Amino acid sequence: MAGVSLQNVTKAYGADRPVISGVDLEIHDHEFMVLVGPSGCGKSTLLRMVAGLEEITSGSIRIGERVVNEVAPKDRDIAMVFQSYALYPHMTVRRNLEFGLKLRGIARAEIDRLVSEAGKVLGLHELLERRPKDLSGGQRQRVALGRALVRNPAVFLFDEPLSNLDAKLRVQMRGEIKKLQQRLQVTSIYVTHDQVEAMTMGNRIAVLNGGKLQQVGAPLELYERPQNLFVANFIGTPAMSLFKATVADSGGALAARSFKLPAPASAKGALLGRLGKQVVVGIRPENVLGKGRSPRGATAPLELTVDLVETLGDEVVVYGSQGEDRIAFKMDPHDPPPFGAKVQVLVELDRLHLFDAETELRITA
Ligand SMILES: Nc1ncnc2c1ncn2[C@@H]1O[C@H](COP(=O)(O)OP(=O)(O)OP(=O)(O)O)[C@@H](O)[C@H]1O
Ligand SMILES: [Mg+2]
């Protein structure tokens, strides 16, 4: 097995603005790295460059100890699973699984062993003689996985493999892929635009936007300490509430448009130098406490007018506003406030995330 290393990798089509700009990323041996970002940010392009399906404009890519810039896809010791499954429609499942192995001249007995093993792992035994058209979407995706599995590659590359499945099957399959990877320990790069998939599957997550890496870290690290506004906004459902504020009172207060909050004690030093400047304040819904929730650490009260209530089952997410600023918080589902009600909440001050309004970079430690 092998790690994958991207050094200053850039991709440009013709004279256009680069689609990928100077990406440095180390994927460790055995690691499950998720590459996440909005549509068009360059995820597939980056993955296809690792696979060798797309040339790189500059930089270098290593798989294990070997620089693979000039190595053909078939010689990179990788297996890729696509969103479209890309199965051969005229071949049975068995022949789909065998095909790549035959091409590589592997002996019949070994092929049978590999197919049987993958069949067992993925529950494909009863399906081996069917054609792809006689399978459900989930079963097709399983065959596509099986085809990657039998190749026994050093690295798995996944490009949104679950996005054609319905919500329930997606959750089931993401658990299965994760378990499979934990058992086999094959280094994996998994592309998705779904941040929940990223959070639940990744050992680490790399967030990409506009062809540039925004932050790389463990799921909780990204959730608790987003390094810039993009990551703050992208990771977490419901999203972090964000509002602009001016630094006031010698760095001790944050004045939003229609309310004022004390600054977190830990940020006072950093804010002193920004007196009168604009910052963006972020707060996650679980850190704004409705009735009956007990706070940790210093809090400030805030009155909000309810303008939307979303029931999730175990709790409700309430969106309340004061003036033009909107803040989400969570409440017990049995006693949600009516639309238009005024509610008192407590903001956990040590949980505020502060960002520079100009650079959009994190200010709080
Ligand atoms: N052959 C090409 N010529 C010019 N631009 C291209 C080409 N292929 C892709 N692009 C552009 O590169 C950018 C990144 O595309 P890419 O497919 O990598 O995005 P993505 O993050 O995978 O998006 P999605 O989530 O929609 O799959 C897009 O703006 C796309 O239009
Ligand atoms: Mg894509």
pLDDT digits (tens, 9 = 90+) for 332-346: 888 889 999 999 999
Give the pLDDT confidence of 48-67 residue by residue, as tens digits.
999 999 999 999 999 999 99
Cβ–ligand 1 contact at 44 (below 6 Å): yes
pTM for the model stands at 0.92
Spacing, Cα 144 to ligand 2 middle (Å): 17
Q: In the chain, where do the E strands start and end? A: 4-11, 20-27, 32-36, 58-63, 66-67, 78-81, 155-159, 187-192, 204-209, 212-217, 241-248, 253-255, 260-262, 278-283, 288-289, 299-311, 316-322, 325-331, 342-348, 353-356
**How many CB atoms lie under 10 A from the CB of residue 355?**
23
Whether the per-residue pLDDT at 137 is higher than 90: the answer is: no
Q: Mean pLDDT across the chain, nearest whole number?
A: 93
Helix, strand, coil in percent for the chain, rounding step 5: 30, 35, 35
What distance in angstroms lies between residue 82's CA and the mean position of ligand 2's atoms?
10
pLDDT of residue 173: 86
pLDDT in tens, 8-18: 999 999 888 89
Average pLDDT over residues 168-184: 88
- pLDDT at residue 328 tops 80: yes
Choice from 20, 21, 39, 44 to test ligand 1 binding pocket (greatest atom count within 8 A of CB): 44
Of 20, 23, 41, best ligand 1 pocket probe by most atoms within 8 Å of the beta carbon:
41
Is the omega angle on the peptide bond into residue 18 within 30 degrees of 0, that is, cis? Answer: no
Amino acid symbol at 7? Q
Q: How far is CA 102 from CA 82, 106, 234, in A?
A: 21, 6, 44
Say yes or no to pLDDT of 202 above 90: yes
Determine the average pLDDT of the residues in 186-212: 95
Which of 6-17 are b and which e, b meaning 16 or more Cβ less than 10 Å from the residue's Cβ? Answer: beebbbeeeeee
Output the CA–CA distances (angstroms, integers) from residue 274 to 169, 240, 246, 247, 358, in the order listed: 49, 23, 9, 6, 12
pLDDT in the model for residue 5: 98
Q: Is pLDDT above 80 for 315?
A: yes
**Mean pLDDT calculated for residue range 227-240:** 96
Which CATH number applies to 4-234? 3.40.50.300
Pairing verdict, β 187-192 and 32-36: parallel
pLDDT surpasses 80 at 266 = yes
Q: pLDDT band at residue 168, thresholds of 50, 70 and 90?
A: confident
Cα–Cα distance measured from residue 253 to residue 137, given in angstroms and rounded to the nearest whole number: 54
Cα(253)–Cα(84) distance, rounded to whole angstroms?
52
Ligand 1 atom closest to the CA of 191, numbered from 1:
22
pLDDT at 244 over 90: yes
Each domain of the chain, given as residue ranges in start order, spans: 4-234, 242-356
Q: Which residue's alpha carbon is nearest to atom 5 within ligand 1?
A: 13
How far is C-alpha 28 from the chain's CA centre?
Answer: 17
Distance 132 CA to ligand 1 centre (A): 28
Ligand minimally distant from the alpha carbon of residue 208: 1
CA of 40 to the centre of ligand 1 (A): 5
Using most ligand atoms within 8 A of CB, pick from 9, 23, 43, 84 the residue to mutate for ligand 1. 43
Q: Which residue has the tokens 């950093």?
A: 270
Closest among 327, 364, 331, 365 to 347, alpha carbons compared: 327
How far does residue 213's CA lie from ligand 2's centre (Å)? Answer: 16
Q: Distance from the CA of 194 to the center of ligand 2, in angstroms?
A: 12
Residue 235 has pLDDT above 80, yes or no: yes
From the CA of 83, give the closest atom in ligand 1. 27
Angle at 199 between CA 41 and CA 167, to 5 degrees: 85
Task: Please check the confidence at residue 176 and state whether its pLDDT lies above 90.
Answer: no
**Portion of the chain with pLDDT greater than 70, in percent:** 100
pLDDT digits (tens, 9 = 90+) for 86-136: 889 999 999 999 998 898 889 999 999 999 888 888 888 889 999 999 998
The model's confidence at residue 72, banded by pLDDT at 50, 70 and 90, is: very high
Q: Say whether pLDDT at 188 is over 90.
A: yes
In this prediction, residue 228 carries a pLDDT of 97
* Residue nearest ligand 1's atom 10 by CA: 19
Q: Residue 39: CB within 6 Å of ligand 1?
A: yes
Amino acid at the residue 292:
G
CATH topology of domain 242-356: OB fold (Dihydrolipoamide Acetyltransferase, E2P) (2.40.50)
